[in-house]
Structure 1
Amino acid sequence: MRTASPRFILCCSATALFLLAGAPAAAGPDDPAAASRSPFLGTWELDLARLPANYGPPPRQVLYTFEDVGAGQWRTSIDITAPDGSVRHMAVRYARDGSASAGEGDPSEADSAAINQPASNVLVMSLAKNKILGSVRVYAVSSDGKEMTESAAAADAGGAPFVRNFHFRRLR
């Protein structure tokens, strides 16, 4: 099994620590009341006007939906609409305890994910394909609950690490 390079791990750890430093302490994911008041639950739309300059051709739309599906589990669905109108759909049902869960839908980027919630406004997601780490994403919701920032850390084809930030607006 191939593992991430030390540079990739350092990059991801630094990103997570930076975001967590400003996160308020909160009840953990096993607290039933925390799920009902989570700032993540709902639907978010990518702010295409704020895409990183080095991202490439933009999609037409990207929607993330976070749902509490009961029994301590959430489901996250992602729909990416390409410029031609085609839609890539991915979803994963998981406990926010860092354990791996199989994904469903389009497997082009990942076929499994592990999600942890170290604070009420922070989620850390690790994506893998064929049991090989692909990227780590850290999601943070603003204090007013209107914006979510995704910091996506990975390595390019040459092995150089990078982090890109994506900004989402709450739709509901």
Structure 2
Amino acid sequence: MPTAVLRSTLRCSATVLLLLPLGAAVAGPEDPAAANRSPFLGTWQLDLARMPANYGPPPRRVLYTFEDAGKGQWRTTVDITAPDGSVRHMTVRYARDGSASAGEGDQSEADSAAINQPASNVLVMSLTKNKMLGSVRVYAVSPDGEEMTESAAAADAGGAPFVRNFHFRRLR
């Protein structure tokens, strides 16, 4: 596989593949309505204080929003605010069945995504650009539902693989 295929172009949201331990369900049996609600749904903010040391200059802010779009689909929106205040906005609407869906908005890293949910607190996302693999990410929500970890695997410009973890805290 060409090195270029493995390179990540979106440093702010990083790219990763890492098998994460599967946590317990967020809601307990005492709240049946909450038990059916995914722990991902809501808005998450990147914890800039916990950025990987080898990442480089951090963004000003990164927000992920996961929404139920109805008819078995979700919508994920990512807003990345750069140090200069400019904002990159990306959205994808998808079924969590591993099939490809076109993205909207900024496409500097990817123009489509495939998302699968192997467990209630885990999402696996594959991003492509121009029909070439760009990155793979694994998202896991903590058992208490207050932290989401994005594990991103990619290759640097020289083709050496790396893995970075990014931590998000729930805003809502």
Q: Which residue of 1 aligns with 2:128?
A: 128
Q: Structure 1: give runs of 5+ residues left out of the alignment.
A: 6-10, 26-32
Q: Which residue of 1 aligns with 2:73?
A: 73
1:12-43, Cα deviation, whole Å (9 max, x unpaired): 3xx23xx1x43458xxxxxxx89951000000
Looking at structure 1, the residues matched to 116 and 22 of structure 2 have their Cα atoms a distance apart, in angstroms, of: 17
Higher relative contact order (CA 8 A, sep 6+): 2
1:21-80, Cα deviation, whole Å (9 max, x unpaired): 43458xxxxxxx899510000000000000001111111100000000100000000000
Q: Residue 49 of structure 2 aligns to a residue in which SS?
A: helix
Q: How does 1:9-158 map to 2 (within 5 A)?
A: 12=17, 15-16=18-19, 19=20, 21-24=21-24, 36-158=36-158
Looking at structure 1, the residues matched to 47 and 153 of structure 2 have their Cα atoms a distance apart, in angstroms, of: 19
Looking at structure 1, the residues matched to 82 and 35 of structure 2 have their Cα atoms a distance apart, in angstroms, of: 32
Larger helix proportion of the pair: 1
Q: Which residue of 1 aligns with 2:12?
A: none
Please, what is the CA RMSD of the aligned residues? 2.4
Q: Residue 109 of structure 1 aligns to a residue in which SS?
A: coil
> Structure 1 length as normaliser, TM-score?
0.84
> Structure 2 length as normaliser, TM-score?
0.84
Deviating beyond 2 angstroms after TM superposition, the runs of 4 or more aligned structure 1 residues are: 1-5, 21-25, 33-36
Number of residue pairs aligned between Structure 1 and Structure 2: 156
